[in-house]
Chains A and B, each alone.
Chain A
């Protein structure tokens, strides 16, 4: 079975502080992992995917197959980072399996 777990429903940090949004997955094969973001009143959009190995808006995420994790990190959070963040997995098919999401609030 494919499963994505985001243990934190809410996360609150101050501007300029580091932030880490946790994501753990369960899949027996080689997954593709994604982070999606939904800003207030906007549609869900792709933030980054592990195969791209990019840094988007200062965010990075490393796939750790040993720990089955794909945590999202940013060294210095900004107020505009406040949003819902969803970790998602593709495991050998087209469908995305999403976690329940983490609401990040960056306080001034």
Chain B
């Protein structure tokens, strides 16, 4: 079956602009996660959804970052007033929900802020 998909695969934007990154989870997966991976680092947790609600948003770095999952499937990560330090690969993962289930990762969106 289809895995987690993310669009776009690459996004170049100017400092100060607004961007949206999309994640399509595996069908039927109730849990969705966003991570950010900066160059030379491991993935860093941003936010976790269970269904439509954000169950844990403790990893969002500041209020410029926001994510939604209105129908419990597709999620959008929104970044306002982008800064050069936001440049990274943004990874999405989904799982069947619950502590024991494996997280399946998407290919990522590479965001470059110029």
CB of B3, distance to nearest CB on chain A (Å): 7
Interface flags for A75-108 (1: CB within 8 Å of B; 0: not) read: 0000000000010101001111111110000000
Report if A101-B42 is in contact (Cβ < 8 Å); known contacts: A44-B91, A90-B99, A95-B33. yes
Contact A93 B56, beta carbon cutoff 8 Å: yes
User: Assuming the A-B contacts A94-B31, A95-B59, are A43 and B43 also in contact, with contact meaning beta carbons closer than 8 angstroms in the complex?
Assistant: no
A97 CA to B31 CA, complexed, in Å: 17
| A23 CB → nearest B CB, Å | 11
Contact of B41 among A44, A97, A100 (CB under 8 A): A100
Nearest CB of A to B66, in Å: 18
Q: How far is the CA of A46 from the CA of B104 in the complex (A)?
A: 8
Task: Indicate the size class of the contact surface on chain A.
Answer: 10 to 19
Q: Would you give the shortest CB distance from A28 to chain B, in whole angstroms?
A: 17
Tell me which of B71-79, B80-88, B105-113 binds A. Answer: B105-113
Query: A96 to B35, alpha carbons, bound, how many Å?
Result: 9
Give the residue of A32, A45, A93, A98 whose beta carbon is less than 8 angstroms from that of B44. A98
Q: What are 24 A-B contacts defined by CB distance under 8 Å?
A: A4-B42, A32-B99, A43-B3, A43-B105, A43-B107, A45-B105, A46-B103, A49-B102, A86-B43, A88-B42, A93-B56, A94-B33, A94-B48, A94-B99, A95-B33, A95-B48, A95-B56, A96-B43, A96-B103, A98-B43, A99-B42, A100-B40, A100-B41, A101-B41
Further pairs besides A43-B108, A95-B48, A95-B58: 18, Cβ < 8 Å: A4-B42, A43-B3, A43-B107, A44-B43, A44-B91, A44-B105, A46-B102, A90-B99, A94-B31, A94-B33, A94-B48, A94-B55, A94-B56, A95-B45, A97-B45, A98-B35, A98-B44, A100-B40
Residues in A lying within 8 Å of B, measured CB to CB: 4, 32, 43-46, 49, 86, 88, 90, 93-101
